[in-house]
Amino acid sequence: NAGVTQTPKFRVLKTGQSMTLLCAQDMNHEYMYWYRQDPGMGLRLIHYSVGEGTTAKGEVPDGYNVSRLKKQNFLLGLESAAPSQTSVYFCASSYVGRDTQYFGPGTRLTVL
Amino acid sequence: GENVEQHPSTLSVQEGDSAVIKCTYSDSASNYFPWYKQELGKRPQLIIDIRSNVGEKKDQRIAVTLNKTAKHFSLHITETQPEDSAVYFCAASLSNDYKLSFGAGTTVTVRA
């Protein structure tokens, strides 16, 4: 089992460019999450999904969109990147809510 | 949503000593409290969790205590070792929610 994987590992964007981050899990988990991690601010939830075809907003959703077309994949999109979106992005998944979340290795994004 | 405060933000201990990290939460309906450890450059990983029907849980050198009346929970690491050096995050989840609210993290350094 690969667990939770994220693509890409690193990316540098210019302001206004768009990109999609891919998260994939092979554990048949229902719940998937996207977080951003900034120094001194812990992990903040961007969007989450409680099953295929469902998505919901988290704590800091502005500027991001998500899709969960397949159970094993959760995509995070930035339509028009801003320097404030420079961060490390983590995807996570869990079998049910209020259960162990398994994190991916992270994507380090820099927006110039 | 839930608000989780974590203290201290940094903690330096001598190898062999104990380390204690405390978190407080705002919503009395929270009932799931996990702790995650993140080593430098790595992904967060669950180390222990507690649910509101128990007051204490132990796993080898790690223990978590929960005080529902005071709305705080703590992580205790005994006989600290160099490999305990990491950032530790507490989190809380409401009983009717699928999301975790994370604290800002505590950087623990174990001095040899």
pLDDT tens digits along B4-25:
999 999 999 999 999 999 999 9
3-state secondary structure A71-87: CCEEEEEECCCCHHHCE
What does the pLDDT average to over B61-75?
A: 96
With cut-offs at 50, 70 and 90, classify the pLDDT of residue A98. Answer: confident
With a pLDDT cut of 70, the percent of chain A lying above it is 100
* Helix (H) / strand (E) containing A34: strand A31-37
Confidence of residue B106 (pLDDT cuts 50, 70, 90): very high
Give CA torsion, residues B98, B44, A32, A6, to 10 deg: 170
Question: Closest to A103 (Cβ–Cβ): which among B44, B103, B105?
Answer: B44
Cross-chain CB nearest to A100 (options B6, B46, B95): B46
pLDDT value at B95 more than 80: no
Give chain B's contact residues with A (Cβ, < 8 Å): 1, 6, 9, 31-32, 34, 42-46, 49, 89, 93, 95, 97-105
Best of A23, A25, A32, A43 to disrupt the B interface (most B CBs within 10 Å) is A43
